[in-house]
Amino acid sequence: MKNFTARQGVLAFVVLALVFLPLLSSDTFVLRVVTEAVMWVGLAIAFDVIAGYTGYLNFGHGAFFGLGAYTVGILMMKAELPFAVALPAGGAVAALAALIAGFPTLRLKGAYFAIATWALSRAIQQLALNMDITGGPDGMRLDAFLNPQFFYYLMLGAVGGTFLVLWYLLERAPFGLKLKAIREDEEGAKALGLNPTMLKMQSFILSAIPTGILGGIYAYWITFIDPSSTLGDLVSDQAVVMVVFGGMGTLFGPAIGALLIFAFKTVFWAYLSKFQLLYLIILGALIAVSVVFMPNGLWGTMLKRRNTVRREPEAP
């Protein structure tokens, strides 16, 4: 009970610090860095819905991010719709893409699913490169809205809302147990009367919606998007690294992994930007060490050790 209360206290302190950060610091650079860190936390926990809880590694996660970004850009710049209308449309388009892509890809398993989703992401990127409405390889520029506090609180609200919804669905509602049953034994879950196809589709869409919304916020915040930055492999690759390092199948694990990996990336590019290859080597070595020595990730390993200590009998 003491540990649970302490964890709640730490979480409350972090939430309050994030809420009052713009009031505590007037540095625009700090606010921008924290905004991006919060965005990566949201992308990591959304990715973990299909990867950690359902057991399907999605290398096309970045496609939903890019679709949300381009939907907001096209609706605002071409259709001249307000951002408040374009942003929900970004999540809806990502959900529709997950629904369409889920029918063929979710029939596959393991590496085949990962390769299929990666190929789908590359196909969407090629479409964006060759379509006039997206600006092609030159990208698309959005009207600037110079209000860092607005985007900070919008990103924080979107990620916070996503975390609460996923926490309820995956940790408190039966839906999370059903997904874990599919992850552990899909045939056994089917024998219990579950519908794995429907549950996997719901998980896929649930992962895509917040990703598309975050992509839409990112597009309006950055004011410039192109296929390489929003539809490339960066979002998917970093999401995989963050979730594996933090701990798959949990909500706190991907959040912690996202913060640590993003902090390492920020410091590295600030002081060692000339050594690009070294960054990839360190990142690869970190993942290799995590897989070998911490297969449950950082957060999963901490929980496992705590549970082991609790189960040990007291000395006479």
Residues 6+ apart with CB under 8 A from 244: 257, 287, 290, 291, 297
- pLDDT in tens for each of the 316 residues of the chain? 444 556 677 778 778 888 888 777 777 888 999 999 999 999 999 999 999 999 998 999 999 999 999 999 999 999 999 999 999 999 999 999 999 999 999 988 888 999 999 999 999 999 999 988 998 888 899 988 888 999 999 999 999 999 999 999 999 999 999 999 999 988 888 888 899 999 999 999 999 999 999 999 999 999 999 998 899 888 888 888 899 888 888 888 999 999 999 988 888 877 776 766 777 788 778 778 877 788 788 887 787 777 666 565 555 4
Task: Say whether 219 sits in a helix, a strand or coil.
Answer: helix
Half-sphere exposure of 112 (CA within 13 A, CB side): 6
Q: Give the DSSP H/E element, type plus range, for residue 225.
A: strand 224-225
What pLDDT score does 95 carry? 96
What pLDDT score does 310 carry? 59
State the Cα angle at 284 between 212 and 290, rounded to 5°: 90
What pLDDT score does 1 carry? 43
Strand-pairing partners, residue 225, are 140
User: In 16-25, which positions are buried (b, 16+ CB within 10 angstroms) versus exposed (e)?
Assistant: eebeebbeee
Distance CA 219, CA 90 (A): 11
Residues 6+ apart with CB under 8 A from 231: 62, 63, 65, 66, 70, 121, 124, 125, 128
Overall pTM > 0.85: yes
- Other CB atoms within a 10 A radius of the CB of residue 84 amount to 7
Q: For the chain, how big is the Rg over CA atoms in Å?
A: 20
Alpha helices in the chain (DSSP H): 2-19, 21-24, 28-48, 61-77, 83-105, 110-130, 148-167, 174-184, 186-191, 196-222, 227-230, 234-246, 252-271, 276-293, 297-311
Distance CA 255, CA 10 (A): 14
What pLDDT score does 44 carry? 95
- Residue 236 · residue 58 · CB < 8 Å: yes
For the chain, what are the domain ranges?
Answer: 2-237
Q: In terms of residues, how long is the chain?
A: 316
What pLDDT score does 7 carry? 64
What pLDDT score does 14 carry? 79
